[in-house]
Amino acid sequence: MDEEAVRALYDRWMRREARPDGPGCRVERVGEVVRQTGPAEAWNGVLWSGLTAGTADRAVEEQIRHYTALGRDFEWKLYAHDEPADLADRLVAAGFRAEPREALMVAGTAGGATDTAPPEGVELLPVTDAAGMDLVAEVHERAFGTDGTLLRQRLLAQLVDRPDTVAVVLAVAGDRPISSARLEMLPGVPFAGLWGGGTVPEWRGRGVYRALVAHRARTAAARGYDWLQVDASADSRPILHRLGFTTLSTTTPYVYEP
């Protein structure tokens, strides 16, 4: 893989020329900042910036004013290769809080990530209605320890208004939900995103996460996407590396809460 070329492709399609990723969302370019603004349950934040030491502080203040006026929490999604080099320090000084750093990892949809089957006794089911989304929210809360209400609302709205842009899958053992994940597919871009892969504690280390990656990789390939993209946690990174993913950069969410 030509990592620099693929990273440039990612920056172009998923950041500088990003499409809205949910109902009611809009992507705006304001100066050298690309941001998404949407309903409270949507992802709100900065996708890309092309700032300098002389323009950064003013741009940061402008985004704070924009989202605060709407009463929105928002995220500045900062990548290790973004400029200026001290942008992270500037965000913290402006009142942002850094969340754990993740690895930007990619793989071709034609690679080995498609080959893994679920472990014995586990079935992968598509989620297409509110009852299924209740189970996704339940798994999310058990896996991550955070409230799944907004996630449920956002995904239900997406399934109703833009069903071709998301595929949600639930892993069940018998009649018990044990893991869930989703594939985000924006039209007209070469990358499909892997998001939300969470497994309840008692089922970790048994291959469920790998099976969910493979399932979504097959779906992305069938829909014509060339690349898979994931923001990988420290736990997911070694698994994805074994499945053929390459790390292109790191990304840190900086969160601002008015």
What is the per-residue DSSP string for 177-236? EEEEEEEE--TT-SEEEEEEEEE-GGGTTSSHHHHHHHHHHHHHHHTT--EEEEEE-TTH
Q: What is the pLDDT of residue 1?
A: 81
Region label for 238, one of left (φ > 0), alpha (ψ between -120 and 50) or beta (otherwise): alpha
User: Residue 255, SS3?
Assistant: strand
Cβ atoms within 10 A of the Cβ of 141, count? 16
The closest of 22, 64, 65 to 40, measured between CA atoms, is 22
Q: What is the pLDDT of residue 155?
A: 92
Q: What is the pLDDT of residue 111?
A: 72
pLDDT along the chain (258 residues), means of 10: 94 96 93 96 96 98 98 97 97 98 94 80 96 95 92 91 94 95 94 94 94 94 96 92 94 96
Q: What is the pLDDT of residue 116?
A: 83
The closest of 140, 233, 226, 234 to 179, measured between CA atoms, is 140
Query: Which letter, b or e, does each residue of 154-174 get, where b requires 16 or more Cβ atoms within 10 Å of its Cβ?
Result: bbbbbbeebeebbbbbbbbbe
Report residue 150: phi and psi, to 5°.
-65, -35
Q: What is the pLDDT of residue 16?
A: 97
Q: What is the pLDDT of residue 112?
A: 65
State pLDDT tens for residues 173-222: 998 999 999 999 998 999 999 998 899 999 999 999 999 999 999 999 99
What is the rounded distance in angstroms from the CA atom of residue 176 to the CA atom of residue 216? 21
State pLDDT tens for residues 79-97: 999 999 999 999 999 999 9
